[in-house]
Structure 1
């Protein structure tokens, strides 16, 4: 007898909770854990279906591993399964980062002990490695390397969150107008869905764009602080191409530059996020909790977390039935390629400001950062272990 809906829902929650407690190593490692759990062990979907799902989530903006989890949960137990998968996978890292945030508030001596500065140096090493690896994979040819460099130069010369978004938009338009990428054939048997279900999915996509355009207007008209914060996290979640590390420059422009959060606390939290399992986007809960003015605390953490993840739900659930046609469109693929190259530029700019400028103030800082970068790239030290070791080393020094 097939399992009941409630048993499938409970199974989804428990499996993703286990993954959320043990999935160290970032989104690429998460996708490996997912394949082992859902393709090899439980056979919830085939290898080909899983590869197709991963391709979709890498095509869309947002955290790829979390989006794959949302999609698998929806396929297994409907919309409730999508919510259960996200909640279980995200909750452990959120609780750990909130504990860190409240620890900093309750024990301010931690900041004076050098631990925060050690975390900033760890963040510098992690972001440098991300720039290096993403540059090799997302900007492998001179055309995309030029796009990355021009994007970095523009963002450094005009340090404004809106400029970062404009650079991404320009890169997408450049890709759409340029030479199309190689066409990818759609599978012989694309998934078929009823007219009513297709309409529901279309509503998700329309809602995504309505919120993206409408939230800033509504926040400006009402002057509501909570709506303004929600809009900033929603906009970030909507435009993060290239993985979780890109959340750093976008959120820095949305939160640090306008004075919503202290820069040192922001970078220390980003470093701490490398030491916990689960998705890097959980950093949003930490940032929301430490906002300088209400809504902050648990209310700010909840608002930030829902805001940054809501675009992922709307995009994955909306794009899934249309993916076969989207991935076969050469111009869409070309736009993704140029957007990803611009993302490398944004991350390169963030590597200098705020990460390098805040972390390195002496030759000792730079030496420790070089050692941390070498440990990541040459010795393959796991990021979570590197973060703990760097913080402890700086504290000891």
Structure 2
């Protein structure tokens, strides 16, 4: 039963939204320290089971964990408070940057912004490298990743990426044999199977509508594009790069330069990487744009992941033990490594690396991240400084 207030939840997550740098894995570590060890809102076993669920589902894992923690602490108001506290700080910073680009047109072509693009290359290269070691540890999964990358490059659209994930999931269902997950005691914040089924139905209906509406330039098409991206992101926040780029750049809503610059800056702010949607929403053409567009598309990209985690909680323990589900997810996770590899080339590499100096800055940034163990904030700041001084 809920034991706290929404304001308590909001302040706890606001602290993390202002200080939690380092990406989803680091966020989960911050959450454990804050809510398991310090506040004791949940025990280690229940927290581990919740993390397992959110890593299994598509969507922003750390935000999904936070949403469920808020729900368990203070009910539905607590769930909303957790999301707002954790997400708003980075979203506000990114929207301010977007508005700055619109007001000062030369900002997007400055050396500092070029440095942000080069930092984005380094961050995504490190993500590909790290995810490949975890999600593609054998030849079959490495092969699926390469095939997914080739398909995404051959069909450079959201349709190609969806096809790659679906095909890899089917291949995993038939060919892969991951080990069974250990059993654990099912725990959830009081949602029954009926409520869970309703939430999953809402998620599915909205996804089908988004697939039908994500064309054209209407308000519904823009909202549908971001909902669809949030619903199909397996394997971590960086994968949303490929899905969003395919959704917003080809229609001409956002230029590649502005897209990559914003993605670079998103590495330097705390909180969830999905807050990048607020930046894109602020830059969108009418009927989106500005603060309203930023907040609307921020909701659109987070909504599917939040519906999924709450809907799946009552069914999770039985589902995660099914071998076919484990095999299909192993294939889908391999595919997202391939999608991220394709995104590393297009749009990042071809739009950011134009000279040996560009390559040198990106390579140095990668070295600092992968071998120097420097924080993304420091690496992004150094890249922007190098771009300002040298480019």
Matched, 1:210 2:219: no
Cα distance in 2, alignment partners of residues 316 and 284 from structure 1: 20
Aligned pairs, number? 390
2:366 is aligned, of 373, 377, 383, to 373
Give the one of 145, 158, 167 matched to 2:142. 145
Q: Deviations over 1:1-26 (max 9, x none)?
A: x9x86x52211111000010000111
Structure-1 residue corresponding to 2:53: 56
Question: What TM-score results when the alignment is normalised by the length of structure 2?
Answer: 0.96
Equivalence map 1:290-309=2 (5 Å): 290-309=283-302
Check 1:22–1:389 CA distance in 2 against 1; reply closer, same or farther (3 A cut).
Answer: same
Residue 10 in structure 1 maps to residue 3 in structure 2: no
1:336 paired to 2:329: yes
Deviations 1:324-364 (A, max 9, x none): 11111111111111101000000000001110000111111
Matched, 1:190 2:186: yes
CA distance, structure 1, for counterparts of residue 351 and residue 253 of structure 2: 17
Structure 1 residue matching 2:180: 3-state secondary structure: coil
Distance 1:101 1:193 in 2: 38
Q: Distance in 2 between matches of 1:366 and 1:224?
A: 36
Question: 1:205 touches 1:314 (CA, 8 Å); kept in 2?
Answer: yes
Tell me if the contact between 1:139 and 1:341 (Cα under 8 Å) persists in the aligned partners: yes
Cα deviation 1:286-321 (Å, max 9, x = unaligned): 011112343222222122111100101110110011
Q: Which of 58, 72, 77 is 1:75 aligned to?
A: 72
Counterpart contact for 2:49–2:186, Cα < 8 Å:
no
**Candidates 334, 354, 362, aligned match of 1:361:** 354
CA distance in 2, matches of 1:192, 1:340: 25
Normalising by the residue count of structure 1, what TM-score does the alignment of the two structures yield? 0.94
Which consecutive unaligned segments of at least 5 residues does structure 2 have? none
CA distance in 2, matches of 1:193, 1:30: 21
Worse-matched range after superposition: 164-173 or 128-137: 164-173
The answer to whether the Cα contact below 8 Å between 1:202 and 1:318 also exists between their aligned partners in 2 is yes
| Deviation digits for residues 37-74 of structure 1 (CA, Å, limit 9, x no counterpart) | 00001111111111111000000001110000001011
Contact 2:153-2:342 at 8 Å conserved across structures:
yes
SS where residue 205 of structure 1 aligns? helix
Corresponding residue of 1:167:
164
Distance in 2 between the 1:218 and 1:352 partners?
Answer: 28
Instruction: Return 72-81 or 338-347, whichever deviates more.
Output: 72-81
1:186-227 CA deviation, whole Å, 9 max, x = no partner? 33x434899x9321111000111111112343566xx77111
Change (3 A) 1:215 1:153: closer
Equivalence for 1:278: 271
When residues 170 and 288 of structure 1 are mapped into structure 2, their CA distance, relative to the original with a 3 A threshold, is same
Q: Distance in 1 between matches of 2:178 and 2:385?
A: 47
Q: Secondary structure at the match of 2:133?
A: helix
SS in 2 for 1:381: coil
Deviation at residue 177 of structure 1 after TM alignment: 3.2
Q: Aligned-residue CA RMSD in angstroms?
A: 1.8
Paired residue for 1:382?
375
Quote how far apart the aligned CAs of 1:158 are: 2.1
